Structure 1
Amino acid sequence: MNGSTIAAIATPLGRGGIGIIRISGDRALSIALSIFKPRSLPCSKTSSCRFPLDQIISHHLYYGNIVQPDTQAVLDEVLLAYMKAPHSYTREDVVEIQAHSGHAVLKAILNVVLQSGAELAGPGEFTRRAFLNGRIDLTQAEAVIDVINSKTEKALESAASHLAGGYKQHVEQLRATMRDILVRIEASIDFPDEVEELQLLSVYPQLQASVLEPILSLIQQYEDCHVVRDGYRISIIGRPNIGKSSLMNWLVKKDRSIVTDIPGTTRDVVEEAVIFRGIPVNFSDTAGVHITKNTVELLGIEKTYERIHDSDLILLLLDASVSDYELENQLLEMTGNIPVILVFNKIDLAANHDNIVENKIFSAFPSVAISVKEQIHMEALVDLIVKKILEKTQGEEPVGFIPNLRQARAFEKAAGYIRQAMDGIQQMRPFEVIAMDIRDAIGCIDEISGARATDEILDHIFNSFCIGK
């Protein structure tokens, strides 16, 4: 943040009732008033008729026109809202211009704002300024994008709770407990003659009950409820030219994957997020697995293996018209504990498709026999997918707070340091070593709140925002 005044269109581009241009920074008001003609003041056609700065009241709406500063030509009639620092989204002076929503008019207004001295905001720069100016912490900043991206009421409920600051307070309380323990240990190190001797064994149960267990609970909450936040991850795997792309297109109801008779058409993971029977689902069409020396195909197959281990459910497609399933057996071994549905495709080509499942089923896995081409038993497949999803998600109302992946990984690191400290207590290691572990754990918590976040972390988070937020 360099003290500049930034501006951007804050609403999605397209035709609609209202479009908003947001301006933030020390010059926000002066820039806005240089192009704003209030309807309440008597003005001639040639007069600039600026609204006096000292007459603008914060958090009031003003009706008027946005004009070209050189010609005074009217661009649009608008409402102008001024929010004086620090009582604004960014804790800076903020002006929002509410215009008619259309690409041309919003772009024209933004252009005159930029010509008057503002700089175009980068992705997430308004929210980044809110964070850097101390209005929100990093968990709340991430909650902003979660609110925007929420696909279900559960996801919105969780994100709104984080945005309101409940999660922030929970993290702060956890840090305060760790800090209190650390201060007591450090006092015993620095002032051994003045401070009552600390009984490390009494610290152990406090670390267990008040620090480690709450951290492990948050990690488990992520594992159990990430579907609420991120969606249920389903990967479609199998041999080349088995119908994976056709199935993907049918499931997402659009031509998302390329379908040809040429084996190996899909060489990368193709993803599509949809609401599937009311549940957010991320479908992935993967490269066909087979023996090949083609470098590009090998890279695609490697990504397939990676995606298998990042899935909540695997749809393994098999050719119902053949009998050799050695490759499929190898793929099943790779899935580990991830749920799998065996999908026997091309039953229209099988000699006796009524008995195909009984004849060729791998008994440990649920299965269904279908034909994507002929649309046979497709709803039975959908019912089976929904059943597996509900087994994972039923009863998973978001209780408490749900960390995102970045936060969960930081909590895992913190838990590791706390375990080391507890082991050190049991092994009667020096106070200095135990204090170092607790200090490192606090550092992990500070990464979550943003108190110790690097520019790389901040860039990664805020670059995922749209421009104008």
Structure 2
Amino acid sequence: MIQLGGTMEDTIAAIATAYGEGGIGIIRISGPEAKSILDKLFIPKNLEITEHIANRRLYYGNVVDKAKNQRIDEVLAVFMNGPRTYTAEDVAEIYCHGSIISLRKILDLALQHGARLAEKGEFTKRAFLNGRLDLTQAEAVIDVIRAKTEKGFHVAVDQMEGALSEKIRSLRSIIMDLLVDVTVNLDYPDEDIEELTYDALEKSLMLINDNIDRLLATADTGRIIREGLHVAIIGKPNVGKSSLMNALLKESRAIVTEIPGTTRDTIEEVLTIQDIPVRLVDTAGIRETEDVIEKIGIEKSKESFNKADLVIFMIDGSRPLSEEDFRIINHIDDNKTIVMINKTDLGQTVSDQEIKSLLPGAATIKAAIREDKGIEELEQKILSLVYGGKVKQEESLLITNVRHYNLLRSAKEASKDALDMARNREALDFIEVDIKRCWELLGEIIGDSVTEDIIDQVFERFCLGK
């Protein structure tokens, strides 16, 4: 177990619910003095003086500032003996009215009676340090709290329950078996043991590489489910960008007029498309203009679609492509573009073949936004792009965390280096170093081999009280 400056011996306390008005607020106390502190500030009703607060039993009573002979609030309270608690320590919780005044007064009393204010994420950090959660499970706690969609929530819950941890541990077990074989062949070459051939070594390393590759392949989808898909709507003025945004949002968020250049700045909204979070940006129409304010908006538009995960390029299909359309085409990446040929209800002048020749990697959709034509197809196309056109991955095995992704990439590099050396029949001593490095990097994901600095960085993302 890692010890951080002896702080594990402290008893900590914090408000565990969000600030603001609410029916109920919770103060959590964790550590060796949790029971003692609860006894000092909580007086149960209908409990004989000779009786004591029992383990895991909910009591009704009052929090009292005995020094001032002042009742603070009418509450429910419970004491839970460790290690079968969230932090694996003794824990007391007080459920009071959700007034910020009541919460602060009760927390102040807990601090006066010997607790110290918990740091960000310190309750979950203690759960990790005490072995109740591994690091991926601990990180998933904050993902559950911050989940934007039902899908993101379920991915986080699966990881909190250990789905990703189990996969990493299984992979590390395969690597350890290989590492043992390599070490035995190095240290005891004259003993009567089965010789590890380079062919067998290659086969094992290829299996390890394939397993890491499958995890890495889920990272783009995982990031989108966690953070959202950044989608920019671009095109020259008056092709229907604002109308598309309003249609997707199902409300009139952007101003729609027949006057070109109405949208002067980027407008950003968040929505969900079949449970995929989408950050939708309606950009200013890109054209030559002398209007200073409009010029600023156009520059923002270019910046926005350069950063976007997906670009929806809208054209007026009832008219030939203009110089402004060609200027935009020269700036966009067709591999992350959907071309919406809008206003097809007025007749289609721009052909599908013309778009295909200019943007061969782009998908095309025929649309008439004001008649709601093309919206459903666009939503399906976005969903398909999120999953790379493949069957949806098992949600529990999505890589949603940048730290996990970077460690997996480094582990893949180490295993690939080992594989290359095995193919070149290089010395086992060198191959052993990279295999061990791969095993250690995967261990950092679940926290089996991790530094204090990394732990601090992980839990700094948490809120107080969790």
TM-score by length of 2: 0.80
Shift of residue 449, structure 1, vs aligned partner:
0.8
Q: Tell me which residue corresponds to 1:329.
A: 329
Specify the code of the residue in structure 1 equivalent to 2:202: Y
SS in 1 for 2:336: coil
Contact in 2 for aligned 1:240/1:287 (Cα 8 Å): no
| Structure 2 unaligned spans of 5+ | 357-362
Offset from partner CA, 1:148-167 (integer Å, 9 cap, x none): 33455544443333222233
> Are positions 1:236 and 2:233 aligned together?
yes
What residue number does 1:200 align with?
198
Q: CA deviation at 1:84?
A: 1.8
1:355 aligns with one of 312, 330, 347: 347
- Is it true that 1:96 corresponds to 2:93 in the alignment? yes
Is the 2:271–2:280 Cα contact (8 Å) retained in structure 1? Answer: no
Residues 158 and 396 in structure 2, CA contact (< 8 A), matched pair in contact too: no
Counterpart residue type for residue 37 of structure 1: I
Deviation, structure 1 residue 419: 1.7
What is the alpha-carbon root mean square deviation over aligned residues?
A: 3.8
1:19 maps to 2:33: no
Contact 1:21/1:98 (<8 A) preserved: yes
CA contact (8 A) 1:37 1:66 kept: yes
Q: 2:83 is aligned with what amino acid? A: P
Report if aligned partners of 1:21, 1:110 keep a CA contact under 8 Å in 2.
yes
Q: Once the two structures are superposed, what CA deviation does each residue of 1:104-125 show, in whole Å capped at 9, x if it has no partner? A: 3223322332333333323322
d(CA) in 1 for partners of 2:108, 2:235 = 52
The structural deviation recorded for 1:245 is 7.2
Tell me if the contact between 1:272 and 1:283 (Cα under 8 Å) persists in the aligned partners: yes
The corresponding residue for 1:388 is 381
Task: Note the 1:133-148 alignment, pairs <5 A.
Answer: 133-148=130-145
Question: CA, structure 1 residues 153+216, in 2 after alignment: closer, same or farther (shift >3 Å)?
Answer: same
2:58 to 42, 61, 70: 61
- Structure 1 residue 402 corresponds to structure 2 residue 394: no
Residue 28 of structure 1 is matched in structure 2 by 34
Amino acid across the alignment from 1:120? L
CA offsets per residue over residues 345-382 of structure 1, 9 Å max, x none? xx7xxxx97136647995334245667xxxx34x3353
Q: Secondary structure at the match of 1:468?
A: coil
Return the alpha-carbon distance in structure 2 between the equivalents of residues 452 and 245 of structure 1: 51
Give percent identity, aligned residues only. Answer: 33
- Asked if 1:461 is matched to 2:453, the reply is no
Alignment of structure 1 residues 165-176 onto 2, 5 Å: 165-176=162-173
Number of matched residues? 439
Query: 2:459, 2:171 → 1: CA distance?
Result: 25
Instruction: Tell me the SS of whatever aligns to 2:136.
Output: helix
Which deviates more from structure 2 when the two are superposed, residues 180-189 or residues 286-295? 286-295
Q: Is the 8 A contact 2:13 2:28 kept in 1?
A: yes
Alpha carbons 1:225, 1:396 under 8 Å: kept: no
What's the CA shift string for 1:379-398, capped at 9, x where partnerless?
33532321213434584162
Q: TM-score, normalised by structure 1?
A: 0.79
Distance 1:297 1:229 in 2: 29
Please state whether the residue corresponding to 1:363 is helix, strand or coil. Answer: helix
Paired residue secondary structure (1:98): strand
SS at match of 1:443: helix
Query: Secondary structure of 1:147's match?
Result: helix
| CA apart distance, 1:129 | 1.6
- Partner amino acid, structure 2, of 1:439: K
**Distance (whole Å) between structure 2 residues aligned to residue 353 and residue 161 of structure 1:** 46
Helix, strand or coil: the match of 2:170? helix
Distance 1:261 1:121 in 2: 52
Candidates 124, 127, 131, aligned match of 2:128: 131
Equivalent pair of 1:240/1:264 in contact (CA under 8 Å): no
**Unmatched tracts of structure 1, length 5 or more:** 43-48
Distance 1:129 1:241, change over 3 A: farther
CA displacement at 1:7 relative to structure 2: 1.9
Query: Counterparts of 1:210-359 in structure 2 under 5 Å?
Result: 211-223=208-220, 227-238=224-235, 248=245, 251-252=248-249, 265-266=265-266, 272-276=269-273, 278-285=274-281, 300=300, 303-304=303-304, 306-308=306-308, 311=309, 313-318=310-315, 323-324=322-323, 325-332=325-332, 334-335=333-334, 337-342=335-340, 344=342, 354-355=346-347, 358=350
